[in-house]
Homo-oligomer: A and B are copies of this chain.
Amino acid sequence: MHRQTKDLASLRSTLESFSLGDEVYSLIRELYPICRSITGDGFRETLARIRKEISLDVHEVPSGTQVFDWTVPKEWNIRDAYVKNTHGERIIDFKRHNLHVVSYSVPVHHKMSLAELRPHLHTLADQPDWIPYRTSYYKENWGFCLSHNQLQTMCEGEYEVCIDSALKNGSLTYGEYFLPGESPAEVLISCHACHPSLCNDNLSSVAIATFLAKYLREARLRYSYRFLFIPGTIGAITWLSQNEDHVNAIHHGLVLTCVGDRGHITYKKSRRGNAEVDRAVAHVLKHSGRMYDIEDFSPYGYDERQYCSPGFNLPVGCLMRTPHGKFPEYHSSADNLELMDSASLAHSLLTCLSVFHLLENNRCYCNENPKCEPQLGRRALYRSMGGNRNEKLQETAMLWVLNQSDGEHDLLDIAERSGLVFDTIHEAAGLLLRHRLLKEVPR
């Protein structure tokens, strides 16, 4: 057991040499077949698999519990569902693809004409080979999803329609993993885990959050880290409702979603727009040498909607690769294992670690020799004559840290003003700190 022996920088370098992406991909592949919804056994089975990696707490919140303006819904479970043609053939079969059933469909077992069935059939005319993903959580209804091509082949006649589901009082399930650091101040990592066989949205984030937790456990941490594996919307609302007095501990947060496709990273800023996490992600992306996008906050998207509601206004942004609505496979059977890319999964995970590394080390200092520069030369911190490029950079970084460390600017501010990368500034601060030229200022 080597808990709390590595810092994040060394952890990052270790992981870079790993076949990180393959590990994440394998977990996605295992979770893919499970039929999840916002409640029910599929969600529990998913958490059980994650528990093999990290010692998750599993919470059950009873149906009917009031959570702010919402009520925890009945629990939904499904055993089987099909549409049979006149020959008794299952032409639509839940066992072949769990997207075939509209999530939260109430039980039904009837014979009916195509005309009666038709309003309950959902397709994507634009993508005739794909099965859409549909839900009806808060309005009792039932339905089937199928490819548009298949719909075209269905002829008049009597169909046997069966959905062997149960919608009963039970509970909403969510997973929580808390990793204590030196400080009670927390970093929140939240992902929704309620989608059935859909990969980018959102098994990619479920798997990355799992491995982030697993790796961070190995590191020496300043912040505490809280991971939430929750059903979308109702899960975030439930957690916030049950932890209302605790949210002030959240100093930084990321909602993770759609982090496994081949597109570049997109970061959506928190409602505050200039929270430390917003600036940290922007800095990491700017110096990543890769394409990226940063979007302003908007009140639609994922659970940042709840964390950033005006009564909480938490500093929580949303890290994605290609955002929902910008990849055609979104919410369809084409959001499958083929859409996942091991290298992208590894890059998403390492980007998160880089952000956490920055947050962990973004401290604020006071120059202990604020009047004129201290004499770096007699401390062997200054080239006497000449010096290579790296030494010059280190020297420049020390001068920036000394000049800006007036208790008003943290290291990220200094990195931004100087144009230098955070790690260079952080190393320079470390050197100065060891020579007692800086003192940390509590914020």
Chain A residues proximal to chain B, CB less than 8 Å: 67-70, 122, 134-136, 138-139, 141, 233, 236-237, 240-241, 244, 271, 298-300, 305-306, 308-313, 367, 369-375, 377-378, 384-385, 396, 399-400, 402-406, 418
Contacts and interface: CB of A to CB of B under 8 A. Distances in A.
Contact of A136 (B122, B305, B385, B405): B385
Nearest to A370: B311
B310 A372 contact: no
Contact of A372 (B135, B309, B399): B309
Contacts of A311: 367, 369-372
Contacts of A369: 68-69, 311
Given A309-B402, A311-B372, 11 more contacts: A68-B371, A69-B372, A138-B375, A138-B377, A236-B372, A237-B373, A240-B372, A241-B371, A305-B373, A310-B404, A312-B371
A371 B309 contact: yes
Contacts of A122: 385
Contacts of A308: 403
Contacts of A67: 372
Contacts of A372: 67-70, 236-237, 240-241, 306, 309, 311-312
A299 B367 CA distance: 14
A67 B369 CA distance: 12
A74 to B, nearest CB: 15
29 contacts: A67-B372, A68-B369, A69-B375, A134-B385, A135-B385, A136-B385, A138-B375, A138-B377, A138-B378, A141-B384, A233-B373, A237-B373, A240-B372, A241-B372, A244-B371, A298-B418, A299-B399, A299-B400, A299-B402, A305-B403, A309-B402, A310-B367, A310-B370, A310-B402, A310-B403, A310-B404, A311-B370, A311-B371, A311-B372
